[in-house]
Amino acid sequence: MRAFLLFLLLLALLALVWSRGWRPPDRYNPWAPLDLRAPPDLFFRYKLDRLGREPRACRAALAQAGARFTPLPDRDGPGACGWIDAVRLRGTGAAAIERPAIVSCPLAATLVLLDRQVLQPAARQLYGTAVRQADHVGSYACRNIYGRASAPLSRHARAAAIDLTGFVLADGHRLDIAGDWDARGRAGAFLHLVHNRACEVAGLVLGPDYNREHRSHFHVEAQGWGYCR
């Protein structure tokens, strides 16, 4: 009984301070908007998932982070393919995208986090420079997994995945996943570091060691809880 009364008292105190305008710092507030410029906090996956249901807030977060993008009208079909609340992404705020990619807004937000929290720190650590560009071989594609007729629909078919093939540094040095993944020295170390840390911000990352279909790229999705293979 005493514990219950103490619990009610605590709730009353919280309600009082909340009514007077007090709010916890954004890092400790699951209802605060996601700031893509800040390091991921305890609630960032929840906040990122919420962006999928709040397209205006998602686009505002991208703009706040300096991403270069154009909102796209929804596309329905063919079949179960298409997208909702997607953008044409040209840059993440620091790095350019090799060619504009059609991606869901949460995936665009994930790529901004990947650039800020993983790519740029790894490049500074190993090369003493920045990543200028991220290369890819596609985002939206209306197909099943691996293009097999009997397989489930690919996440690419909903603009919810992108296949990154490499990165270009500010000094022009190119890092290619297909050619440098097994390389000794800084190139291989950089790509492994990026892959290993990518799931700190991405929901799913499949790389060259996953299977032969991914030997040439990192398959990146926003949805998930940090699964890297």
Residues 6+ apart with CB under 8 A from 168: 131, 132, 133, 135, 174, 175
Neighbouring residues of 154: CB distance < 8 A, sequence distance ≥ 6? 141, 143, 144, 145, 146, 161
Count of structural domains, the chain:
1
The answer to whether residue 24 is domain-embedded is no
25: in domain: no
pLDDT surpasses 90 at 128 = yes
Residue 29 lies in a domain: no
Does residue 27 lie in a domain region?
A: no
| 14/66 Cα distance (integer angstroms) | 36
User: Does residue 29 have a pLDDT over 90?
Assistant: no
Q: Is the pLDDT of residue 17 over 50?
A: no
φ/ψ (deg, to 5) at 168 = -115, 130
Average pLDDT of span 134-146:
93
Range of 172's domain? 35-228
Q: Which of 47, 22, 19 is nearest to 203 (CA)?
A: 47
In a domain? residue 131: yes
The reply to whether 2 falls in a domain is: no
Q: How confident is the model at residue 1 (pLDDT cuts 50, 70, 90)?
A: low
The DSSP secondary structure of 23-68, one letter per residue, reads ---GGG-TTSPP-TTSPP-TTHHHHHHHHTT-HHHHHHHHHHTT-E
Condensed to tens digits (0 to 9), the pLDDT of residues 42-88 reads 898 999 999 999 999 999 999 999 999 999 999 998 999 999 999 99
7 in a structural domain:
no
CA distance linking residue 42 with residue 107, whole number of Å: 19
Q: Is residue 4 part of a domain?
A: no
Q: Which residue has the higher pLDDT, 88 or 150?
A: 88
**Can you read off the two tokens belonging to residue 179?**
């050619």
* pLDDT tens digits along 168-202: 999 999 999 999 999 999 999 999 999 999 999 99
CATH code assigned at 121: 3.30.1380
